[in-house]
Amino acid sequence: MADHKLQVIPLGGLGEFGMNMTAIRYADNIIVVDCGMMFPEAELLGVDLVMPDLTFLKENQAQIRAVILTHGHEDHIGAVPYFLSEIDVPVYGTDFTLALVDRRLEEYDLEEEPRFIHVKPKQIVEIGPFKIEFIHVTHSIVSAVALAITTPLGVIIHTGDFKVDPTPTDNELFDLHTLADYGKRGVLLLLSDSTNSDRPGYTESERAVRPRMEEIFNRAERRVVVSCFSSSIHRIQLVLDLAQEFGRRVAVVGRSMVSVTEIAHSLGLLDIPDGILLRPQDAMNLPPDKVAFLVSGTQGEPMSALSRVAVDNHKHVSVEKGDTVVLSARIIPGNEKAIFRMIDHMARRGADVMYGTMNPPLHVSGHASVEEMKLVLNLVRPRFFMPIHGEYRQLTKHARLADHLRFAGLEETFVMETGDVLEIDHHGARKAGRVPVGRVCIDSGSIDDVVQEVVIRDRRHLSEDGIVLPIIAINRHTGRIESLPEIVSRGFARAEDGSTFMQSARQVVAKTLEGSNQEEKTDWGVMKEKIRADLKRFIVKETSRRPLIMPVILEV
């Protein structure tokens, strides 16, 4: 055994946000830490989700012993269904994390029943040559853990995502004592979250949000609509508590918000006061000062609950003059346009929309800032350090931070990229080559539609099914349709065999436009999504083919 090397191989999450996944190998045993996805950039047309390429793991499938999950955010669990469809191994995680994974698995038809192994903080499990202790950490989601992985060559600490919150709302403190104990005994390698390495100071406690929220509930004269990430159980609890305090009932709106709230309540992680919940369809009948809404869709996703509320296209909820809308979430880079467009719609309706940086804050980060990173580095005092989770600039800042601390025992810091192999043996640590990595783009959220490269997918898509371009001329100011929609197609056979089919397709687009209200017609993002969805449904029903549909809206 003395000759075996320890390898740490990031398969996603380094140099990018999302797709967090790391393989740790000793001899012929591999454990995989986290299995996340990311959402596509705008240029990945027709792609819904992006997963890590599993080529390396499939090539070494016989060596994989388990997947270990640190917490339940999508960038850490989103690829688990895709992973389990290819590789059947046990999945370890806390109750809440595995419940969120189970919810995702409902959308997929796996051949094998997943093998979930539920763990709790302070528990130690043995998997092959690895002994793994789960350490409770504070983060923006409940039931998050760091991992202390004891290997024959020494201990690896993997922090997962964390911040050091001294006053968490559930009073479950970050278990710094256990981390310090490992530090005293000696840690071979630290893998630590780098997301906020460019933010000085400390990240504010979750409790810092309460004064601002309290003030909003106190002065709101009409309805209060709060949107936060559905996984932010602390924030949902705060809204429920304040609603009870100020005599309001709460309607929970949006599929993910309803689902996660139910899971958290069933596990005892969310305390819902008796009689406070209200069906969304009954909420608008109550006096406006007696109701609050919890709505999903903080990032302005075109068909999310909040986006539909913004353009008055939700069947149960609408925003009216004097209502207060609160976006209690960070604006994820890349989503600014969609979010500000959504805010504009609500402002037009006369709502008071609160978002962005304020003091006291509407939202606090779930990730450690520089001083907390220093604390963890000083407690763990690893021999080797490898920053994880973040873009390259954040990884390098975190690495420089460790180098500046110059604590005794730190031999080397490694700034790695996805696919690099860190190899450790009795002689030390070094970068030792690369393994194949990449992205797998998934269309329609279906495992069957996985394609290895978006370019190949698009070429195949275009060559087999062609492209359909519905062209609509809309008056920017009035939202009026200037003429009947035109449909241009290339490589789509049905377009050439007579006009009946194309006339019907034009009618489908026209019907979608007629069924949309004025505000939707001035929101191109919403309109394109609606037209694409309706036309896709019609074409698949009529032809069983899936051309690439790219609505073009002309401003006239």
Q: Which amino acid is at 340?
A: F
pLDDT > 90 in the chain, percent: 69
What is d(CA 349, CA 354) in angstroms, rounded to the nearest whole number?
Answer: 14
Q: Among 165, 124, 114, 177, which Cα is nearest to 147's?
A: 124
* pLDDT (0 to 100) of residue 466: 84
Q: Does residue 448 register a pLDDT over 60? A: no
Q: Does residue 418 register a pLDDT over 90? A: yes
Q: String of b and e for 305-318 (b: at least 16 CB within 10 Å)? A: bbbbbbbbbbebbb
Tokens of 75: 């960038």
241 counts as catalytic: no
Measure Cα distances from 108 to 54, 84, 141, 523 in Å: 18, 10, 24, 33
Mean pLDDT for 425-430 is: 94
Q: Among 279, 356, 370, 369, which Cα is nearest to 325's?
A: 356
Determine which helix (DSSP H) or strand (DSSP E) holds 30, and give its type and residue range. strand 29-33
Q: Among 48, 15, 73, 57, which Cα is nearest to 446's?
A: 48
3-state secondary structure 47-90: CCEEEECCHHHHHCHHHEEEEECCCCCHHHHCCHHHHHHHCCCC
Q: Single out the catalytic residue among 53, 95, 161, 193.
A: 193
Tokens of 181: 């104990």
* pLDDT (0 to 100) of residue 523: 78
Q: In which residue are the tokens 């390495």 written? A: 197
Domains of the chain: 6-201+365-441 (3.60.15.10), 206-354 (3.40.50.10710), 466-555 (3.10.20.580)
274 counts as catalytic: no
Percentages of the chain per state (helix, strand, coil), in multiples of 5: 35, 25, 40
Which one is predicted more confidently, 167 or 38? 167
* pLDDT (0 to 100) of residue 497: 46
Ramachandran area for residue 143 (φ above 0: left; ψ -120 to 50: alpha; else beta): left
What is d(CA 529, CA 82) in angstroms, rounded to the nearest whole number?
Answer: 25
Q: Give the confidence band of 445 by pLDDT, cuts at 50, 70, 90.
A: very low
Asked which of 180-184, 282-286, 365-369, 456-460 is least confident by mean pLDDT, the reply is 456-460
Mean pLDDT for 242-266 is: 96
Query: Residue 319 in contact with residue 218, Cβ under 8 Å?
Result: no
Mean pLDDT for 174-191 is: 97
Which one is predicted more confidently, 552 or 184? 184
Question: Would you give the distance in Å from CA 147 to the centre of its chain?
Answer: 21
Q: Does residue 451 register a pLDDT over 70? A: no
Q: Does residue 493 register a pLDDT over 90? A: no
At residue 548, φ and ψ (nearest 5 deg) are -75, 120
- Mean pLDDT across the chain: 90
Sort 171 into a burial class: Cβ within 10 Å, 0-12 / 13-18 / 19+: exposed
Q: Does residue 2 register a pLDDT over 60? A: no
Mean pLDDT for 276-289 is: 95
Mean pLDDT for 358-367 is: 93
Measure Cα distances from 4 to 1, 23, 242, 428 in Å: 5, 16, 57, 13
Sort 524 into a burial class: Cβ within 10 Å, 0-12 / 13-18 / 19+: middle
Nearest-10 Cα torsion for 283, 285, 286, 289? 90
Query: What is the maximum alpha-carbon separation in the chain?
Result: 79
pLDDT, tens digit, 9 for 90 and up, residues 117-138: 999 999 999 999 999 999 999 9
Determine which helix (DSSP H) or strand (DSSP E) holds 541, and give its type and residue range. helix 524-543
Q: Give the confidence band of 495 by pLDDT, cuts at 50, 70, 90.
A: very low
Mean pLDDT for 348-367 is: 93
Q: Single out the catalytic residue among 367, 389, 398, 461.
A: 367
Asked which of 142-151, 249-258, 490-499 is least confident by mean pLDDT, the reply is 490-499
pLDDT > 70 in the chain, percent: 93
Mean pLDDT for 520-545 is: 85
Query: Residue 133 in contact with residue 124, Cβ under 8 Å?
Result: yes
Model confidence, pTM = 0.82
Q: Give the confidence band of 479 by pLDDT, cuts at 50, 70, 90.
A: low
At residue 277, φ and ψ (nearest 5 deg) are -80, 150
